[in-house]
Chain A
Amino acid sequence: SQQGEEDPQALSIQEGENATMNCSYKTSINNLQWYRQNSGRGLVHLILIRSNEREKHSGRLRVTLDTSKKSSSLLITASRAADTASYFCATVSGAGSYQLTFGKGTKLSVIP
């Protein structure tokens, strides 16, 4: 079953603009991860944020986590056409198995 929801479901921006995607989840987590998927291909791991962290940066990516609200956001700064993809958040609750529970994803289109 889906852990949560991404918002918005689709986002279209101009190259150079920032893109913000939000993710909500339902249960307590060990960590939250963001993945990118290009055109129905495999998923690429972008960033992981632990439950005791509030913010994390990686290049043009900034992730925040608010465990009290059970939500996270992914910010992509200075977007490029190559960032066009679907973005998924996934939570890990642990408990004996490395299982990712995914949200439904945000489809990002960056217009050159």
Chain B
Amino acid sequence: KAGVTQTPRYLIKTRGQQVTLSCSPISGHRSVSWYQQTPGQGLQFLFEYFSETQRNKGNFPGRFSGRQFSNSRSEMNVSTLELGDSALYLCASSLNGGGADYQETQYFGPGTRLLVL
């Protein structure tokens, strides 16, 4: 099976622009989560989607949004980019969103590195 794929891998934008990142989960996986990684704040949870529904969102402003399609592919969007949005954005998928007791493995993609100038 192919792993989690993310596109694009690298992106350069300027302040004020918006950006859309894409994530294709492992085939058959219904849950997709997004994380932001920065040197200062580390790895932070953005949101999780399960069967097209957002189940949870981290402590990020409304400029960060996402969605999941019926084929489980997910996109996240950041509007009005700020310098502080420069980060590695990681997507992870799991088969059933953790399962009954959240014991499932989450599989991470290689990430999209976003640089905001």
Q: Interface residues, chain A, CB within 8 Å of chain B?
A: 1-2, 30-31, 35, 40-45, 48, 50, 88, 90, 92, 94, 96-105
Contact = CB atoms under 8 A, between A and B. Distances in A.
B94 A42 contact: no
A103 B41 CA distance: 10
Given A1-B59, A31-B102, A98 B94 contact: yes
A42 B108 contact: yes
Given A31-B103, A40-B88, A43-B90, A97 B42 contact: no
A42 B110 contact: yes
Contact of A98 (B33, B41, B88): B33
Interface string B98-110: 1001111111111
A40 B88 CA distance: 8
B48 interface: yes
B110 A98 contact: no
Contacts, number: 79
Interface string B16-27: 000000000000
Contacts of B35: 100, 102
Nearest to A105: B42
B66 interface: no
B55 interface: yes
Contacts of A88: 43
A98 B25 CA distance: 15
Given A2-B41, A43-B90, A98-B31, 8 more contacts: A40-B111, A42-B90, A90-B43, A96-B55, A97-B48, A97-B55, A97-B56, A102-B44
CB-based closest 7 A-B pairs = A97-B56, A98-B98, A102-B43, A42-B108, A43-B108, A97-B55, A42-B110
Contact of A100 (B33, B50, B55, B103): B33
Contact of B105 (A1, A45, A94, A99): A45
